[in-house]
Each structure stands twice: as structure tokens, then as C-alpha cells.
Amino acid sequence: MTGLVVGMEPDSIVMGSISFEALTEEADDLLKRLFPICRSITGEGVRQSLAILQEVVDFEVHEISSGTVCYDWVVPDEWNVSEAYIQDSQGRTIADFRDNNLHLVSYSMPIDRVVSFQELSEHLHTLPDLPDAVPYRTSYYKRDWGFCLSYKQFERLDTKANYHVYINATLNPGGLTFGETAISGHSGKEFLLSTYSCHPSLANDNLSGMVLWTLLLRELKSKNLRHSYRAVIVPETIGAIAYLSQHEAAMKCSSGGFVITTVAGPGRFGYKQTFLGNHLIDRAVQRTFAELDRDYSLYPFDVKGSDETHYSAPYFRIPVGTICKDKYYEYPFYHTSLDNLQFINARHLVQTLELYLLTIEKLELNRTYRSLSPYSEPMLGQRGLYPSIGGHINQPAVDGGRHSKRDYALGPTQKVCGQDLDAMLWVLFYGDGKTSLLDVAEKIGFPIRQLYRAAERLCAEGLLEEVSQNPGER
């Protein structure tokens, strides 16, 4: 794989500042540091996690106080845990939060009691179909307590015995912690990059998304971008809703975006479409997969999912897509202890990062041009853009290869690659002030980067000019 790319200027399209291997190592290190931390929709674990990500890229961290009303929701009290376990009557530990934070139902109330098996079992969660896995369960809005065990652990419990349940947790007014940053461009369009930070020790969902979001942000911040990007890292659902409620005017104007989640599994790449299905975001993602000739699963928009549901609610209607690798809901280890660091791989994470960067590159490069020589094809030869010896264009190669892969001599030293020449001809042909480079790419299958280079070359020759806005785009 070549260096990662994001283009903005004709001479800086290829950005290979960090190698794939170095990024993989960095992602791996972040995954290992962050995995053990107990995160939830509030609490110290979120603050610790965001502080680690801030070592990689600058973003602001804010708090929204418990009790704050956000549309139909209220920011809950802050939850923090220091200890939680179940012991049998001999003092043997059955499940301990310190071994795996998934053992404790998130937002469990404090308790210190001896209970019968019968009472305990009403607060236990297991997965009989995946008997080695500890499930992930939450009780954010109903005051309760509970533990999660593997089914094998559960089967070893004595149904006639009593058990000591101990949860040393606090649930007090505090804050909901989130991170955000803005990258300013000059086009007047703003895109959203959102991920969620509320899952405890689960790797693909969504530690992988948090790490990808961070590395993506750092890559974008190092560029001079045309569009603006608003990046947020929030607890899922309540965080996104709270953010919308506090940034209503700005979010109403968002041009589209991504919810970054489940990006590093061993299975297939996937794309969950925006609610529109054919928005610029959808088309850019699908061109990225097409250009790389990479297989992926296409998931139509569904109201069940992540924060895209809130961002795309009737008032906001932001078209939000998700590029993933082993999409949530689709892999058997989803929301279990088997979604761990053995399940995911930092290499996969960086591969998905590349897909996001290549897609954002398309958003950056997509523009519309008008031909300044619209009455016929301009005479490229007199501008040194066409071979001076005629007759061999489109002549089939002896070996049957495509003509356009040949280089054509333009003079003593200059050459134009056959495909570059074709790109110029196509961009001129579609230079009607209405057809964007993305439209052209979809029609003829050329990479947008190549079409953009061709267009800029023609602009420099006075044959083409950029039209200020892509018509019809939000």
C-alpha cells in the first residue's frame, strides 16, 4: 500500500507523511492503552480516555451538567465505580469487575448484600448461545444493579446457595464529558465526523472507532482543506442528542458526515448508507470502493443503528454514512467480551482509515467546471497537450492492451499518459457548468484525482474555469 492520501492542492494530492506500518503501530498502542478503561456515558473512564486521545491530536473537552434538559432527554447523574464483585459463601470470587469491566451492568447502583441464588439470578445476564462470552449490558435510565457472566460461569453456580454482591459505585450529579474540534475550510460547507466513547472494554464497538477518529483528525488537521469539518466524540445517543441541542443552528447547516464505528474487525468492509442513499457522501464512499476494486457489504439506511438516527432526525436531516469493517449487529461477538483485542487488528483499522481519507479526498476534490471553448473540442496540440503525430490514438495495441495505457510523446521530453489525455478530453466534454467531477467519475470510471489534475491543467491553459458551487448539493 502506498502512503495515505488526501488532496487539496494540485501539487500536494499525495500525502504520505506517515507510513502504513507506523500508523498501524500507533493504532495498536492506543488500542492496548485504552481497552482496559471502564467507559460509560459519563464518568472518569471517559475523561481518562479522551485525555489519552488528546496526546495524539488537539481537541477540546467539555462537560454538560447532569440534569440538563436536551429535547426529550435529561443528562443523567455521573456514574463511577471502584469495585464490584460476586462472592460465594466461602469467599470465592464468581465475577470481578477488576478482571473484566463487562461483568458489571453499566450504571449499576451500589449494593452490599448477601442474596439468594434466586434473587441474584434476576440480576444476572448470560448468553447461552455463546457460552464463553460475557455480554455487555447497560441500565442507564432505570436505577438497578446487575452482573454479566459467561453461561459457563452461570452453570457452575449453586442454586441453593447465597451470594455476596458488592458494588462500590457512585451515581451523583456531575457531567457528561465530550470532545469536539473544528477544522476550518473556505468553501462554506461543513461535514460532521462523529464517534462514540461510551463503551467499556469492547474493541471493535467502539474503541476502534475512537482510535480511527483520532488518527483521521490528526491527518486532516495537517492539511489545508477546502471544506470545514466538525469532529465530535460523544457518548452514544444521549451525547449526540445533547450536542445537537446545544449546537442546533450549526448542525442544521451541516452538509453531511460520518458516524465512525466498528472499523477494525476481521470480516468484510461495509457501508451503511445515509438516509438519502444517493447523497454526495454515499457516492463518494462508493467511488472509493470502486476505485480500489474492494468488495464490501452495502447496508441501506435503517433507523436502528448509531447516532446517524439523531443527526438525520426531521429537524436536522444531516445525511450521515458509516464505513465499517465488521459492522455492529453483524458479527457474533458484537456486545460481548469476545469483541476484544484478539478479535480486531490495528492493520484493519488503518485500512478503514484509508477508506475514510480517500472518501474525504473526493469531497475535497469534487467540483464543477465550465469549458471556455464550448463550441468544439479545443486544439490541445497547440498548447502542448496533444501528440503532434496523429493516427495512433486509439490504435489497438499488438498485445491487445488498452490504448489509453500508452504514453504519447508530446515533444523532445514531454509525454502525456494516454489516460491523462483521455481525462482531459472527458473533463472538457463534460465542462457544461453542471456536471461535477464525481458525475464524470461515475460515468467513465476514472479516479477523481486524475480528473481533477486534468481539469486543473486545462484551467491553467485557460480552457476551463471552475463553477463556484456544485449545483443541487446541500
Positions that interact with Zn ion (CB under 5 A):
205
Dihedrals φ, ψ of 348, to 5°?
A: -65, -40
- Spatial separation of the C-alpha atoms in residues 346 and 341, rounded to whole Å: 9
Q: Which is nearer to Zn ion, 120 or 232 (CB)?
A: 232
String of b and e for 181-198 (b: at least 16 CB within 10 Å)?
bebebebebbbbbbbbbb
Q: How far is the CB of 52 from Zn ion (least distance, A)?
A: 20
Sheet of 432-436, strands arranged across = 432-436, 368-371, 464-467
Calculate helix-pair angle for 280-292, 437-444, nearest 10 degrees.
40
C-alpha distances (whole Å) from 322 to each of 198, 227, 299, 301, 302 are 18, 19, 9, 10, 12
Q: Which is nearer to Zn ion, 205 or 307 (CB)?
A: 205
Beta strands 320-325 and 269-272: pairing type? antiparallel
Q: Which is nearer to Zn ion, 78 or 205 (CB)?
A: 205
Question: Both ends of the chain: CA-CA distance in Å?
Answer: 34
Residue nearest to Zn ion (CB): 205
Helix (H) or strand (E) holding 25: helix 20-34
Q: How far is the CB of 311 from Zn ion (least distance, A)?
A: 17
Q: How far is the CB of 261 from Zn ion (least distance, A)?
A: 8
Q: How far is the CB of 200 from Zn ion (least distance, A)?
A: 10
Q: Which is nearer to Zn ion, 205 or 420 (CB)?
A: 205
Q: How far is the CB of 331 from Zn ion (least distance, A)?
A: 12
String of b and e for 229-255 (b: at least 16 CB within 10 Å)?
bbbbbbbbbbbbbbbbbeeeeebeebb
Q: How far is the CB of 329 from Zn ion (least distance, A)?
A: 9
- Report whether 163 contacts 156 (CB < 8 A): no
Q: How far is the CB of 296 from Zn ion (least distance, A)?
A: 21
Q: Which is nearer to Zn ion, 44 or 205 (CB)?
A: 205
Q: Which is nearer to Zn ion, 16 or 36 (CB)?
A: 36
Q: Which is nearer to Zn ion, 125 or 370 (CB)?
A: 125
